[in-house]
Amino acid sequence: MRTLLSLTLLGLAIHLPAFGAAEPEAPTGFLSRPAVTAPNFMAATANPYATEAARSVLADGGSAVDGAIAAQMVLTLTEPQSSGIGGGLFLVMWDAQAQRLVTLDGRETAPASARPDLFLDSQGQPAGFMDAVIGGRSVGVPGVIAALYDAHQRYGELPWPSLLAPAIALAEEGFEVSPRLAALLARELNPGLLRPGAANAYFYPQGKPLQAGDTLTNPALAKTLKRIAQQGPDGFYRGPVAQAMVEAVQNDPSHPGGLSLTDLAGYQPKWRAPVCAPYREYQVCGMGPPSSGGVTVGQILGLLAPHQLATVKPNSDTFLHLFSQASRLAYADRNRYLADSDFVTVPVAQLLAPEYLLARQALIPKQRDQGKAVAGEMAVKPSADGTQALPSTTHLVMADRKGNLLSMTSSIEMGFGSSVMVGGFLLNNQLTDFSRVPGPDTAPAANRVEAGKRPRSSMAPTIVLDGHGAPLLAIGSPGGSRIISYVAQTTIAILGWNMSLEAAMALPRVSHRNDYLALESGQPWQGTEKAMSDRGYRVKLVPLNSGVQVIRKTPSGWEGAADPRREGLASGG
C-alpha cells in the first residue's frame, strides 16, 4: 500500500501500531513494550519512521550524529507537533575517539528586537499563556539546522545530502498519519491551527482534522529540505526560506513578531561543557544552562543519594515522599537561578556542590510534606519566576558501530509551536519559555527576555558514565517542565532498582515541581493517593505522558527501549 512505500524503500515495511487500542501489559498490569538488543548499533526515537531512517543510516556506516540528523528530519514531517527544523535542540554525546563527553546547544535565541516587556500588555500585565504562544511574537531564531550541520562537520561519516534523503522521500511519497497526531488535531490542542493559513490548510483539509491512517504528503517541506541538502545552513538561514520565515512572523495576523533576516543569518550553535553529578558509583551528565535539565536532575539524584533507595519499594509511599521532597527543593533552585549563563551568573558548581546538597538534604522531612520549598541562598539574587513549559518536545538516542553514544532532545515548545507554518514546517514558540514577568529592576528574573538570549529549558538529554568513566546509558524524554522528573525517576529505576529497561519504561510516572504531587492517571496506585494525602500532600491524578527513549551498553552490544505511552520504537543491528 502506498502509505508503506517510503518505509519499504528505506529497507523495512512498518505498520504503525494502533495506539488507540489496548496495549500489551507487563505482569504488574502497567504498559510495556519489549526492549531490543543488537551487537553493533541502536536507535530509539519517538516515531517508527524516524527510527527506521536512523537505523538505515547506522547500518550504512553512519555515525550517531548521522542517525540523529536523519531521524530529526523525518520527525519534522511525521511528528510535527513536537519538534522540527523550525525549533531547537540540546545534544549530549560520548565521543568514543576522544574518550570524552561533548554537549551542543542548538537552543533558539530571542530576536534582536526582543525586550523584557515582550509579553506585557499596555497596563504592564503579563499576557495569558495561550495568548502569548500563538503567532509570530513567540518565535525565536531556530537552531536545529545550524546545530546539526555543525555536529555533522565534526562527527559525520556519510554525506549531508544523503541524511536528508529519507525525509524528502517520505514528504514526496507520503506517510501514514499516526493516531497520536490525529488525536491532538481532533482535540484542537493548539487553537492557532484553526486560524486561516498554511497550517490550517495542511492539518485541517476541507475544515476537518487529519485522520489516523490518512496518507499525507508535504511537497513544500520536500522542497525546503532539498534546498538545505544542497546548500547546508545557508539554504535555511538565508535566501527564500529565511525570507518566508521573516515575512510570516512579521506579518502574523494575531501577534506580529520581530524575527529578522539579520537574526537568522547571525545564529550560532554553541559547544558547551557538560554538567555531571555523582549518583552512587555513576556520573550522570547532561546539558548546562540555558537548560535546567542537567543541574536539576543532578540535584534530585544528589539529594536522594544518602537514602538507600535499593531497599525502598519502587513507587511506594516512602519513595514518593523522598522523591517529592528532593524534587521540590531542586525545582525551587531551578526557578530562581537557572537561565542563559551567557547573560546572567548561574551558580552551577555551587548548586551541585556536596556541602550545599548536604545542607539541603537536612530540609527533607522524615514523614510529611513541608509545602512549597524556598530556593537556597546564593551570592546572586535574582527573583524567581513561574515560566510554563507544556509537554510537547521529542527525544532520541543513538549508538553507532564506533561506540559513540548520543542523547538529543529537540522541541518547538507547545504542541504545533506558534502555529506559524512556512516551507512545510512549523515555527517554534520558544520565547514563551522566558519569564513573561521580567521582575523588578532591583532583582530582575534570571530568565527574563533579552535580545539574543536563549530561554531556559527543562530538556534533559542525559548520558550516564559507569564507575570506570565509560558510557553506560543514554536517556531523555519530552514532557515540558516534567522532563526532569521523568529522567530522574527512570534513571533511579534502572540504576537504583536494577529494573529491566522494559520495566523501567512502564513504571507509572510521578512528578513534583514544588507545586503538588502528580501521579500518572490510569495506573493501579492501590491506595497510594490516600497514603500521600495522609502525609500532607496535595495529590492530583494527571496523564503524565512521558516519552522516554533509552539505550544501554551491554557486554554484547546495545539494548534499546521506547516509552510505551507514545509511538516510539527502538531498532538496531
Average pLDDT, integer, range 478-504: 97
Confidence band for 398, pLDDT divided at 50, 70 and 90: very high
Amino acid 379: pLDDT: 82
Residues in contact with 301: Cβ distance below 8 Å, sequence separation at least 6, in sequence order:
277, 279, 284, 488, 491, 492
Q: How confident is the model at residue 392 (pLDDT cuts 50, 70, 90)?
A: confident
Can you tell me the distance from the alpha carbon of 567 to that of 197, in angstroms, rounded to the nearest whole number?
28
Distance of CA 436 to the CA centre of its chain: 21
Q: Is 525 found in the same domain as 381?
A: yes
Name the percent of the chain lying above pLDDT 70.
Answer: 93
Instruction: Return d(Cα 329, Cα 325) in angstroms, integer.
Output: 6
For residue 476, the model assigns a pLDDT of: 98
- Specify if 561 maps to a domain: no
Q: In 19-164, at which residue ranges do the beta strands (DSSP E only) sit?
A: 36-38, 42-45, 88-95, 100-106
Residues 516 and 319: their CA atoms lie apart, in Å, by 16
Could you tell me if residue 570 is inside a domain? no
Calpha distance 76→175 (Å, rounded): 12
Domain that holds residue 410: 48-271+393-433
In eight-state DSSP terms, residue 447 is T
- The pLDDT, as a whole number, for residue 7 is 41
The reply to whether 239 falls in a domain is: yes
12 domain residue, yes or no:
no
Measure Cα distances from 535 to 321, 342, 373 in Å. 8, 42, 16
pLDDT top residue among 9 and 536: 536
**Same structural domain, 230 and 341:** no
pLDDT, position 122: 86
- Find the DSSP H helices in 429-540: 483-491, 501-506, 528-534
Do 145 and 230 reside in the same domain of the chain? Answer: yes
pLDDT at residue number 388: 55
164 and 254 in a single domain? The answer is yes
For residue range 1-45, list pLDDT tens digits in order. 233 333 433 333 333 333 232 222 233 334 678 999 999 999 999
Partnered with residue 88 across adjacent β-strands are 411
Asked whether residue 193 falls in the same domain as residue 288, the answer is no
191 and 322 both lie in a single domain = no
Residues 181 and 240 in one domain: yes
Mean pLDDT calculated for residue range 192-208: 97
- Supply the pLDDT for residue 22: 28
Task: Write down the pLDDT at residue 426.
Answer: 98
- Any idea which residues carry the catalytic annotation? 393
CA distance 189 to 411: 16
Burial pattern 291-307, b for ≥16 Cβ within 10 A else e, equals bbbbbbbbbbbbbbbeb
In a domain, 98, yes or no: yes
Question: 525 and 546 share a domain?
Answer: yes
Q: What's at 81, amino acid-wise? A: Q
- Supply 7's cell numbers: 518505509
Do 195 and 280 lie in one domain? The reply is no
pLDDT tens for each residue of 241-297: 999 999 999 999 999 999 999 999 999 999 999 999 999 999 999 999 999 999 999
Domain shared by 299 and 249, yes or no: no
Judge whether 88 lies within some domain.
yes
Position 345 confidence tier, pLDDT thresholds 50, 70, 90: very high
The one-letter code for the residue type at 500 is S
What pLDDT sits at residue 16? 34
Please answer whether residues 264 and 86 qualify as being in contact, where contact means their C-beta atoms are separated by less than 8 angstroms.
Answer: no
DSSP string, 360-429: HHTTS-SSS---S--PPP-SS-PBP------S--EEEEEE-TT--EEEEEEE-SSTTTTS-EETTEEPP-
User: Residue 473's domain is classified under what CATH number?
Assistant: 1.10.246.130
Assess if residue 33 is contained within a domain.
no
Task: Identify whether 369 is part of a domain.
Answer: yes
162-189 tens-digit pLDDT = 999 999 999 999 999 999 999 999 999 9
Radius of gyration of the chain (CA): 22
Identify the pLDDT of residue 391.
56
Rounded Cα distance, 54 and 289, in Å:
28
Averaged pLDDT score across all residues of the chain: 92
> Which residue in 178, 160, 147, 379 sits closest to 271, CA to CA?
147
Q: How confident is the model at residue 346 (pLDDT cuts 50, 70, 90)?
A: very high
Q: How many domains does the chain have?
A: 2
Q: Rounded to an integer, what is the distance from CA 275 to the centroid of its chain?
A: 17
- Residue 399 reports pLDDT greater than 50: yes
Confidence band of 387 (pLDDT split at 50, 70, 90): low
pTM score, whole prediction: 0.94
376 and 466 inside one domain:
yes
108 and 232 belong to one structural domain = yes
Mean predicted confidence (pLDDT) in 397-412: 98
Q: Cis check for the bond before 290: say yes or no (omega within 30 of 0).
A: yes
Mean pLDDT of 306-330: 95
